[in-house]
Chain A
């Protein structure tokens, strides 16, 4: 019997319902888990996403293609295949796609996290037969601190910088992480500012009804900004350019799950790093996989080999690697590499965006 979802050169495809989930190429109908560039490509004929994520998706793919939406847990049928969306907790509107047909249920979870996040709907456990899971941080060395603890650390760093008259620059991915951080910090410490790339999405979040503290846009052609009291949230792509000089004396920190590793932080030259991620940590991945009660798990996007083996050996699950177009294991170094305006990339998963589609084949996992 054919699987409900198959891997094709365009990505995951449901032959019975004739739609793709997070396709890598232009397809007639794309069901999108979330708006990060490694999941949402522009140029498809029609999109389907959660109503909460519509504005964000629109800001990423531009005008043109129609976007259909579903409220969470609401379902639609494509040629007898029932499709519904459920919160993934990754960022505003991020969804797990539940697909049911002929008595079998698949869930494609996209990127997800179980930690609390004031800017999006909490992850929902959905039972299924086959669970497609990411594994960006799929090694047991990755265990996140509680968000309150991280927020306290960031606040303490900001406060110390403010007292020393230094601007605090917090580098974070402009979609999702930046807004989450803005909502996490204590706005009574000082003014919050953001890079234009972050601001665009702050507006999309606000228009979608997410409450965020007051944030000022850093003017595009300013000469000198702030008085050393503020917190500036910017994408990592500003590193190495002259933009950071706007703030005079500053302390620069990166907010990324990879900051868990001292070696990575040192290599990347950050004096300060905050291990905060919108992906599940290792215990989070196991919790979600266990709660899905799936007998078959397809692991993708990260440390898929070790996680799949771990699931086979410790849980007896039928766990295998689902190859992705984004090669092999995520690497902490390629993560935030600035490729022009890096607003398009999910820094924690995108390791290598293969530009030309032509000769890309899906083979055995390498």
Chain B
């Protein structure tokens, strides 16, 4: 535990990539494998189950410190991070020192994993034991492990780099090994460091190549930045779930971009994939489509979250796979070949294009489709097609350089997202809540409202996309114009106008306004506007059609 605590604080203390890699390397080279496996799971941000709820912890902390519950809440709202709040509030451990010397793996097992499903009294006993034992700097790390929010600001790429250095293998090999099944124990971690290729490599997908958003998005700018259209392949940008189909040896698997095996959540896709020739890997998008309507990402994540998919779910949320790249054929890695060549091979393998017009949505024709190309003879022509994205239920265009290899991670230059402009409306800040993490203690989550019959009605809760300086300034205004406080939420006098961007509007019975906006976020603080100049509910309602 001490070694991992040291790693945590070493990572926390630096912003330099090299120093972070060095810290990781030192840790992985010296930690016992069982500990290293635990640490890796934590650093990779794998979903950690909460074994004790945050509410219970705060309740117990109130009892342990003798503070009223509201004071613990007040502190939490100010600090913005539960693990840190608790570490700061709890009395110093009775036996002062650096904890009990237990290994990370032991601590994880006995004080975290074993608590799952345990009785409340048992949990409380264990938590109290840890509180009495760990030094404050260990406590904060332990709380983060316990509450499943141990983010330390290291990317998977950095972890792969450090591990590759420790194992003495190529970074790409390590990235590949890190995908797939979690490194569950010391033996698995030892295999990870094996300098020779391993058997389990066979089912692994390739690291996903990720597109970047274009920095400038008018037609003229895009043409200027990307050069001749002939060098580019355009496709729709689907609102689905990125996935790879891996058909090797005896079976076929489906992998999400989160590097999770999702075959069980998408059995119909896995079954269709099994009919592909062995030694095939396809990159594409899972889409949910029912009765000629794209269901969108929300429905898909409902599917992905299931351990077992029932027949009912299969019928409610039918899925298909739209392939846009082929990464392996006949067992051969195609990633270094140019996209145009890979595309030709893909078109020979998957022949039915997925037609993204409502009339063209397939019924039950099959599960594997080809992502169609979007053809235009000029950037202007392409921009014209892009303008129809919303009506098609897509988010805009993907632009891929025809002669580019399939890269790793988010390497800029070859794959671009050219998303459609969001819908926008000016709304008034009504409530503010303190943020977390880097924005801890600052009021940075806002609830915004629009006018209706002379009153402001809340329509969206949005995180601020404003600069740190602006957030600090708004925080001050929020504090000074607070009308009422409800725990961490402040109801403010309506004085601030924000430009709210969102992807669509739909009718909703769950919202007071009767409307729900998709992906709301604040793009600008309209200092130039008075609340009276903000938009109305009727304005928003008119956008329902625009969003279709």
Contacts and interface: CB of A to CB of B under 8 A. Distances in A.
A250 to B, nearest CB: 15
B479 A328 contact: yes
A327 interface: yes
A275 B39 CA distance: 29
A98 B485 CA distance: 35
Quick one: which of B84, B85, B441 has the most chain A CB within 10 A?
A: B441
A263 B81 contact: yes
Contacts of A366: 479-482
Given A306-B74, A327-B480, A333-B442, A263 B437 contact: yes
Interface string A313-352: 1100000000000011101111000000000000000011
Contact of B476 (A262, A272, A305, A352): A352
A183 B485 CA distance: 43
Interface residues of B, number: 35
Interface stretch (B65-73, B219-227, B263-271, B516-524): B65-73
A264 B476 contact: no
B89 A141 contact: yes
Contacts of B472: 331, 333-334
Given A139-B74, A140-B75, A263-B79, A332 B441 contact: yes
Interface in B449-483: 468, 472, 475-476, 479-482
A331 B13 contact: no
A329 B485 CA distance: 13
Given A272-B13, A334-B472, A260 B442 contact: no
A2 interface: no
Contact of A263 (B65, B67, B84): B84
A310 B62 CA distance: 13
A143 interface: yes
B88 interface: yes
Contacts of B75: 139-141
B113 interface: no
B78 interface: yes
Contacts of A331: 441-442, 472, 475-476, 479
Contacts of B126: none
Contact of B79 (A261, A266, A269, A327): A261
B479 A264 contact: no
A262 to B, nearest CB: 6
A140 B78 contact: no
Interface string B51-75: 0000000000000010110110011
A306 B73 CA distance: 11
Contact of B88 (A260, A309, A327, A352): A260
A267 interface: yes
B15 interface: yes
A271 interface: yes
Quick one: which of A140, A272, A303, A351 has the most chain B CB within 10 A?
A: A140
Interface of A: 139-143, 260-264, 266-267, 269, 271-272, 303, 305-306, 309-310, 313-314, 327-329, 331-334, 351-352, 366
Nearest 4 pairs of A and B residues by beta carbon: A263-B440, A328-B479, A141-B88, A333-B472
